[in-house]
Amino acid sequence: MSLDLDATDRAILRALSEDATLKASALGRRVGLSQSAAWRRVRRLTEAGILGPRRLDLDLEALGFGVTVFLGVKLAAKGRVSLEDFERAVSAIPEVQTVEHVLGLYDYRLRVVARDLPDFERVLRRRIMTLPGVGGVEANVLLSEERRPGPIG
């Protein structure tokens, strides 16, 4: 299924995950190909589904959201609440950036942003704790974060 990539493909993936706005010409220069060859490779990788949609990272801090908290949520074992109910309710909270359904100590991991800690407390008390079926919540406040390209080298 996963078509095989040569070193040039991997170089393209590495370059594009750093800067998705790279033009085919600049990309080609960087990996040692002509503009059209680079462009054809990008199209091939896109059609293979390897290059996903170009997403835009908003600087939420510049927008006044300086607090990011990761919540580990354990659903109440007894309250036979469907996962769908929980997911629907959590998706309606604007401050929730990511909803991850996981297997382990928690059932869900949420990435929540807020303007400051008082604002976060409001979100936690009025939105999170009132979600259907919540059994326990554990929190970690983000101090700093580093994203890396992943195992494409």
Burial class (CB in 10 A: 0-12, 13-18, 19+), 28: buried
Provide CB contacts within 8 A for 60, sequence distance 6+: 68, 113
Give the nearest distance from C-beta 79 to its own copies in angstroms.
20
**Residue 7 touching its own copies (CB under 8 A):** no
Neighbours of 144 (CB within 10 A): 4
Q: Which residues bind DNA (CB under 7 A)?
A: 8, 23-26, 28, 32-37, 39-41, 43-44
Question: Which of 6, 7, 55, 118 is close enough to bind its own copies by CB under 8 A?
Answer: 55
Give the nearest distance from C-beta 146 to its own copies in angstroms.
5
**Residue 80 touching its own copies (CB under 8 A):** no
Partner interacting with residue 129 (select from its own copies, DNA, none; CB below 5-8 Å by kind)? none
Which of the stretches 23-31, 32-40, 124-132, 135-143 binds its own copies when contact is defined by CB under 8 A?
Answer: 135-143
CA 102 to CA 47: how far, in whole Å? 29
Q: What is the DSSP letter of 130?
A: T
